[in-house]
Each structure stands twice: as structure tokens, then as C-alpha cells.
């Protein structure tokens, strides 16, 4: 998608990946070319993650007090990512919101490791605060960890809230624990976070996740789901998910979602999208991405309005009563 197409969906902020940008093209090149806003020609605010989740997902790594040692994916050369290096890279990239370097532990995680990890993450985040230099034009968010242990989540909040970050993220979820466990962890965590500061749930973006997160006071989300699913021809609608490569849509003249105002639904039919994916035309992926991101923006506006109107629970029930009614039940996570 082009930046103009992203803006047209109603998106208010985009995320860029510290680890991948450090790998290619390199933070120094982005800095030399004016930072991410200039490099990408992106008018929206930009958030960069710390690289912690990508490091967590690497198959071979060594975690020490100093940081995490791993091999670059392309060159195979060893690299040590420290809190200080993560902040340096993010300052070179020049995003508006940057994230502290943390350790995202897997699920399930033994309690003793999770306990040590929470303490280490706190120390790493203190080092991030001590390292940063761009205090006027970048907001550094802290990240709450603690796996699925109630007391560790509370401890992480009690450690980090006094550090007075301008916003707080909840990490270590969407790693295979499922919606029920995520709901429980959020109920343990958000009560200890300041109400006047943004709360950001990292790596979460399915419709059911959004309703759950907002119900616990979450303000911000990010996820690859809408574009990843779009590349697989899976579209979200208020009547459920639609796989446009299904043969039932081969001659369907209707737009993907008859209630959606996005560019895709205003101009193209299900049959045309079916054709594009069958022909392996990249335009099909672009049009599907435009729709899916627009859908999530519309959903978040609906959720926000339900809060303003004092009918959040009723709106949630109404949404899920219709979601999946036409195209079968929502697919499993």
C-alpha cells in the first residue's frame, strides 16, 4: 500500500520494525535520508518497536544481562542487541514513539524464568531511559512483562510506572496463549497502569481481541493480521470472514462488504478480487489490504462510539451476533 492509501483507510498511526530496518537498509541510511517520515513519505505518526519481539522469535539467541546475541538473518554475522543499541537505532530512525528494549518470553514460560526476566526487563528499561537523547520529539514507552503470572504482571507495573514513561505497552501476549488467557492477563495488568497515559497492547489485532482489549482500557493496538490475511485472500466484513478465492465468489457482482465505504468496496466486485488472486496479480493483495485495514478502523470507531454512548457491552453483543452470520463462523485463531 502507498502512504496515501494507508491514510485513506482512516489509520492514525503506523508501525515500523526496528530489527528489520536495522538489517535492511540500515538505520544510518534512514537517518541520512531524513528519518522514517521523509524516507517513507509518511505523514502519519510513526511508532517503532524495540526489536525485542523479533529477537524473541529467533531460533538461536543468547540472553544475558548485557543484551541479546544473535546472528543477522542475511549475513549470519553475530550481533549484540542491547538496550542502548536499540535506543540508538530508534533515534536514528526518527519515529514519534519508540519502545524500550524488553524480553518477550514464550508461552508457556516457567515461573522462575519469567520472574528473572521481569527483573531483567526492568533493568533494561532503566538503561533505555538513561540512554535516550531525543527527549523533546520522541516519546519512549515502557513495556510491561510477566508472562501469565498475576503477581509478576503486577510487579512489572509497580517497577515501571514510577519511572514515568509517557505511555505503557503490554507485551508478552499474542504468543500462543489464546483469547481466554489474554483476557485474564489484561484484567490483572491494566488496573495498575495510569489512566491518563496511553495503553498499548502489542501484536494484537483480531476483532475479538480488540473488543477484549478495549474492555480492559486498552487504547492502541498493532498487528500484521489484516495485511497477512489479505495476502491470503481473507477479507474481514461485519458479517464475518470471506475467502474471496472460494469458487462461490467467482461470478459474484457484490462488493466484498456492501456496508463498507473503502476504495475497494466502492469500486470492485468479489468476482474481480477472485480473478486477481486466481491470476496471482499483486493488485488483489493491495485491494484486500485496503479493505481489511479500513474494516478495523471502522470497527474501532464503532467501539469508541459505543463507549461514548454508554452501550459498550450491548454493542459488543450486537457485533458478534452478526459476525460470521453469512460466511460461516469466524475461523479459529
**Closest of 159, 142, 141, 149 to residue 188, by C-alpha:** 149
Distance from CA of residue 258 to its chain's centroid?
27
Phi, psi angle pair for 151, to nearest 5°: -70, -30
- Output the nine-digit C-alpha cell for 100: 524500550
Q: Which residues are catalytic?
A: 49, 222
Instruction: Give rounded-to-5 percent helix, strand, coil for the chain.
Output: 50, 15, 40
Distance from CA of residue 88 to its chain's centroid?
22
Q: Report the alpha-carbon distance of residue 156 to residue 165 in Å, rounded.
A: 13
Upper half-sphere CA count for residue 243 (Cβ side, 13 Å) = 9
**Closest of 211, 213, 169, 215 to residue 193, by C-alpha:** 169
Q: Report the alpha-carbon distance of residue 260 to residue 255 in Å, rounded.
A: 9
Per DSSP, the three-state class of 220 is strand
Amino acid at each position: 500500500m502507498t502512504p496515501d492509501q494507508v491514510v485513506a483507510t482512516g489509520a492514525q498511526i503506523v508501525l515500523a520494525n526496528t530489527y528489520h530496518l536495522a538489517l535492511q537498509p540500515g538505520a544510518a541510511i534512514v537517518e541520512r535520508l531524513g528519518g522514517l517520515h521523509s524516507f517513507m513519505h509518511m505523514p502519519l505518526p510513526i511508532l517503532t518497536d524495540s526489536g525485542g519481539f523479533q529477537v524473541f522469535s529467533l531460533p538461536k539467541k543468547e540472553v544475558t544481562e548485557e543484551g541479546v546475541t544473535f546472528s543477522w538473518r542475511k549475513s549470519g554475522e553475530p550481533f549484540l542487541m542491547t538496550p542502548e543499541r536499540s535506543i540508538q537505532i530508534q533515534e536514528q530512525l526518527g519515529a514519534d514513539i519508540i519502545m524500550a528494549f524488553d524480553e518477550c518470553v514464550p508461552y508457556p514460560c516457567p515461573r522462575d524464568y519469567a520472574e528473572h526476566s521481569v527483573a531483567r526487563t526492568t533493568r533494561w528499561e532503566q538503561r533505555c531511559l538513561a540512554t535516550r537523547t531525543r527527549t523533546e520529539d520522541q516519546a519512549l514507552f515502557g513495556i510491561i512483562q510477566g508472562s501469565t503470572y498475576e503477581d509478576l504482571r503486577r510487579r512489572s507495573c509497580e517497577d515501571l510506572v514510577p519511572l514515568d514513561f509517557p505511555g505503557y505497552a503490554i507485551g508478552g501476549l499474542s504468543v500462543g496463549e489464546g483469547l481466554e488467557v489474554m483476557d485474564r492477563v489484561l484484567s490483572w495488568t491494566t488496573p495498575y497502569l495510569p489512566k491518563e497515559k496511553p495503553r498499548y497492547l502489542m501484536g494484537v489485532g483480531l476483532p475479538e481481541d480488540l473488543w477484549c482489549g478495549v474492555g480492559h482500557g486498552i487504547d492502541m493496538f498493532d498487528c500484521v493480521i489484516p495485511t497477512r490475511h489479505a495476502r491470503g485472500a481473507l477479507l474481514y466484513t461485519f458479517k464475518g470472514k470471506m475467502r474471496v478465492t472460494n469458487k462461490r465468489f467467482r461470478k459474484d457482482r457484490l462488493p466484498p462488504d456492501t456496508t463498507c465505504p473503502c476504495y475497494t468496496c466502492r469500486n470492485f466486485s468479489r468476482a474481480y478480487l477472485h480473478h486477481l488472486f486466481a491470476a496471482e496479480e499483486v493488485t488483489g493483495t493491495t485491494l484486500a489490504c485496503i479493505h481489511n485495514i479500513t474494516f478495523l478502523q471502522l470497527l474501532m470507531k464503532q467501539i469508541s462510539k459505543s463507549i461514548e454512548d454508554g452501550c459498550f457491552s450491548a454493542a459488543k453483543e450486537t457485533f458478534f451476533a452478526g459476525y460470521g452470520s453469512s460466511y460461516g463462523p469466524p475461523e479459529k485463531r
